[in-house]
Structure 1
Amino acid sequence: MATIEHSEIVSAEPQRVFALLRRVEDFADYSDLIERIEPLGDDRYRWHVHALKMDWTFDVEVVEESAPTTLAWASLSGVKNQGRYQLERVPEGTRVMLTLSYEIGNRLMEKAVNRAATPLVSKVSRQILERVEARLNDERG
């Protein structure tokens, strides 16, 4: 499995950041690449993503939740992946660390995806956290 890590600081309390990250179905509002997320019940979600000129669909389940520090998921179908948000209070607000691991069954496809995935995941993660921070600032003001 390939693993990508990204870290960003959000200028808000961990509880507030976690509350928005926990609303998984809202992630489509936070990134241009996420077309939609369908809640399936029981902490399961179907993601529809358009990336690398391809459409990707996969179902995930939240497998660990410890507010306000940890939110983790694992795929149930589609692209095999698992991820974890780890939140830590810092003087500037909250450090949000994303760890994402994925596996694509086709070796040629996996090679192509691996080259593009790290900058792409970092971009999406940055975009998500910037929009989360903007929403938190809007709620404050």
Structure 2
Amino acid sequence: METIEKSIEVEQPIRSVYNQWTQFESFPLFMEGVKSVRQVTDKRLQWHVEIAGITKIWEADIVEQIPDSRIAWHSTSGAVNNGQVLFESLAPDRTLVTLILNYETEGALEKVGDALGLVSLRIQGDLRRFKDTIEKRTTPAQGWRGEIEDGQINPPD
């Protein structure tokens, strides 16, 4: 399994950054190759992605979600992957976002692309586009503020 870890500083408060990230269905706006993300339930997402001309569809469960801190997931079908996104307040209007992705390459084309660092470059580009998207917002996103611990949903108060 391959692992990529990338971080970016965003000039927004942690609450705004976290709330925007929880808007999973907006991922195609800033994630290259992501055709759609459908939130099936509070903890289940269905992904439709095109990578190097190959369509991949998978489902993933959010196994941990702590507001303004962390979102962790693992795939339950399709492309094998898991990871987490960490949010750290650096100042009242500055947040560090760290994405850690673990994934398995499939087939020769993906293995070559991975060897060339294409997945790493794509993720860094996705984080830059996320930063640009949220820093240009004039109104803060409304995020889901519930928690998920050990796969169990605790709705927001």
Report if TM-score (shorter chain) is over 0.5.
yes
**Number of residues of Structure 1 aligned to a counterpart in Structure 2:** 137
For residues 19-41 of structure 1, give each alpha carbon's deviation from its aligned partner in whole angstroms, at most 9, with x where no partner exists: 11112122123334211112222
CA contact (8 A) 1:63 1:73 kept: yes
Displacement of 1:55: 1.7
Partner secondary structure for residue 139 of structure 1: coil
User: In the aligned structure 1, how far is the partner of 2:59 from the partner of 2:88?
Assistant: 27
The answer to whether 1:129 aligns with 2:131 is yes
Unaligned runs of 5+ in 2: 141-157
Unaligned runs of 5+ in 1: none
Equivalent in the alignment of 2:45? 45
Equivalent in the alignment of 2:149? none
Displacement of 1:113: 3.3
The answer to whether 1:101 aligns with 2:102 is yes
- Amino acid across the alignment from 1:120: R
Which one has a larger percent helix, Structure 1 or Structure 2? 1
Displacement of 1:98: 0.6
User: In the aligned structure 1, how far is the partner of 2:79 from the partner of 2:39?
Assistant: 18
- Amino acid across the alignment from 1:99: I
Kindly, what percent of the aligned residue pairs are identical?
26
- Amino acid across the alignment from 2:96: R
Q: Runs ≥4 in structure 1, deviation > 3 angstroms?
A: none
User: In the aligned structure 1, how far is the partner of 2:105 from the partner of 2:78?
Assistant: 9
- Cα 1:130–1:47, aligned 2, differ >3 Å: closer, same or farther? same
Partner secondary structure for residue 96 of structure 2: strand
User: In the aligned structure 2, how far is the partner of 1:42 from the partner of 1:54?
Assistant: 28
- Amino acid across the alignment from 1:6: K
Q: What's the TM-score, normalizing by structure 2?
A: 0.78
User: In the aligned structure 1, how far is the partner of 2:6 from the partner of 2:46?
Assistant: 23
Which deviates further from its counterpart, 123-132 or 5-14? 123-132
Partner secondary structure for residue 123 of structure 1: helix
User: In the aligned structure 1, how far is the partner of 2:39 from the partner of 2:9?
Assistant: 28
Equivalent in the alignment of 1:10? 10
- Amino acid across the alignment from 1:104: T
Which deviates further from its counterpart, 18-27 or 31-40? 31-40
Partner secondary structure for residue 27 of structure 1: helix
Which deviates further from its counterpart, 25-34 or 42-51? 25-34
Q: What's the TM-score, normalizing by structure 1?
A: 0.86
Equivalent in the alignment of 2:153? none
